[in-house]
Amino acid sequence: MSIRIFQTIAELRTALQTERMAGRSIGFVPTMGALHAGHARLIETSARECDITIVSVFVNPTQFNVQSDFDRYPRTLETDVSLSESAGAAIVFAPSDKEMYPEPLDAHVDVDRLTEHLCGAFRPGHFRGVATVVLKLLNIVQPSRAYFGEKDAQQLAVIRRLVADLNVPVEISAVPTVREADGLAMSSRNRRLPAEERRIAPLLYEALLGVKKALLEGENDAQNAKKVAFSVLKNAPIRVEYLEIVDSRDLQPVQKINVPVLIAIAAWLGDTRLIDNLTYTP
């Protein structure tokens, strides 16, 4: 059976009601398209664990801080559908902006504490847009499980808290970051990198590994550990937006490493912003 594509909420709900009546579990992978091997891993995991997998492809305008960033975000629906089908999805939901936002929103979702630092400090309103559209999608699809990548660690934490605080009946499943052979975390933004910047980009992962190595060797002062990363990056044309070590549970900065932590970085190569992270448990 070939993959089915729906563009309206009503059509998707009708199709999914049939699946529920047949007793099938529903897995859901929300995306903004421009799919790559990291997305394929999410879809494959869902297809393995659930009876039917739905992939949404929607470039959500409300989570972009800069209009030009939204305008140039790649739209590759045909190849996204092909990858989704190859990875095991049964349905692609590809709504228009008007379908998702028929009227300007008066209701929004804010997850406050978890968005104070990391990307939230530099992208005001971003996580409001993310949380709101994810809640809308979860309400539309009503899946048994929804799958998110660990590369977007702050997003994952926000969604987990959203689901817990608002009693959304879905299990959030995290899938480990998929990396290129040289360590660069897979991202739709990687395709923007010119050859020289692409060559430099794996230094972000190398910097994170340096911090984790220092922690594994007994360093427990966050500032000292972060110096290792800056020494890796100091001669590269990389503008670090943030490099933080935060409590894995609430994403608050820590000074002493005595709890499980997230080591997270955001940096600019030219006009491309990349993020990455690693975890460490003392």
For residue range 93-122, what is the model confidence (pLDDT) as tens digits?
999 999 999 999 999 999 999 999 999 999
Which is more confident, 246 or 68? 246
- For position 4, what pLDDT does the model report? 98
| Number of Cβ within a 10 Å radius of residue 185 | 23
**Same domain as 192, residue 169:** no
- Asked if residue 52 and residue 15 are part of one domain, the reply reads yes
Determine if the pTM surpasses 0.85: yes
Question: For residue 143, is pLDDT > 90?
Answer: yes
Structural domain that includes position 37 = 4-175
252: CATH: 3.30.1300.10
Q: Do residue 156 and residue 221 come from a single domain?
A: no
Q: What mean pLDDT is predicted for residues 13-27?
A: 97
Instruction: With CA atoms as reference, report the closest residue to 130 among 143, 142, 148.
Output: 148
Do 205 and 154 lie in a common domain?
no
Alpha-carbon distance of 21 to 9, in angstroms, equals 18
**How much is the pLDDT for 58?**
98
What is the rounded average pLDDT of the residues 243-267?
A: 97
Nearest one of 103, 172, 95, 90 to 131, comparing CA atoms: 172
CA-CA-CA-CA torsion sign (19, 161, 128, 123): negative
pLDDT of residue 66: 87
* Residue 244, in any domain of the structure: yes
pLDDT of the residue at 281: 97
- Grade residue 29 by pLDDT with cuts at 50, 70 and 90: very high
Pair 167, 219 in one domain:
no
The answer to whether residues 72 and 51 belong to one domain is: yes
Domain membership of residue 267 (yes or no) is: yes
Question: What DSSP designation does 185 have?
Answer: B
- Residue 16: the pLDDT is 97
Q: Are residues 238 and 101 in the same domain?
A: no
Q: What is the mean pLDDT of the chain?
A: 97
Asked whether residue 83 is assigned to any structural domain, the reply reads yes
What does the pLDDT look like over 187-235, one tens digit per residue? Answer: 999 999 999 999 999 999 999 999 999 999 999 999 999 999 999 999 9
pLDDT of residue 69: 87
Q: Six-digit token pair at 53? A: 């997998």
CA distance 88 to 47: 6
Which of 123, 143, 175 finishes a domain? 175
244-256 average pLDDT score? 97
In a domain, 249, yes or no: yes
Over residues 80-84, mean pLDDT: 98
Give the pLDDT band of residue 1 (cuts 50, 70, 90).
Answer: low
Same domain, 159 and 84: yes
Q: Residue 210 and residue 227: Cα distance in Å, rounded?
A: 9
**E strand intervals along the chain:** 4-6, 26-31, 52-57, 91-93, 145-149, 171-175, 239-247, 261-269, 272-280
Same domain for 144 and 82? Answer: yes
Q: From CA 54, how far away is CA 92, in angstroms rounded?
A: 6
Mean pLDDT of 263-271: 97
**Strands across the sheet containing 145-149:** 4-6, 91-93, 52-57, 26-31, 145-149, 171-175
pLDDT tens column, 166-186: 999 999 999 999 999 999 999
Q: 147, 175, 203: which is the final residue of a domain?
A: 175
Radius of gyration of the chain (CA): 19
- pLDDT, position 144: 97
Domain match, 66 and 202 both:
no
Contact 50, 27 (CB under 8 A): yes
Q: Clarify whether residues 139 and 69 are in a common domain.
A: yes
- For residue 257, being part of any structural domain is answered with yes
Q: What are the b/e assignments for 96-107, b being 16+ CB within 10 Å?
A: eeeebbeeeeee
Residue carrying the six token digits 């709900």: 13
- Both 42 and 149 in one domain: the answer is yes
- Catalytic center residues: 39
Asked whether residue 64 is assigned to any structural domain, the reply reads: yes
| pLDDT tier at 138, thresholds 50, 70, 90 | very high
d(CA 276, CA 155): 12
Any domain includes 182? no
Beta strands in 14-133 (DSSP E): 26-31, 52-57, 91-93
Last residue of a domain, one of 117, 150, 175: 175
Q: Is 143 in a helix, a strand, or coil?
A: coil
Examine the pLDDT at 88 and tell me if it is beyond 70: yes
Total number of domains in the chain: 2
State the average pLDDT over residues 13-24.
96
* Alpha carbon of residue 182 to chain centroid: 21
Q: How far apart are CA 241 and CA 250, in angstroms?
A: 20
Asked if residue 181 belongs to a domain, the reply is: no
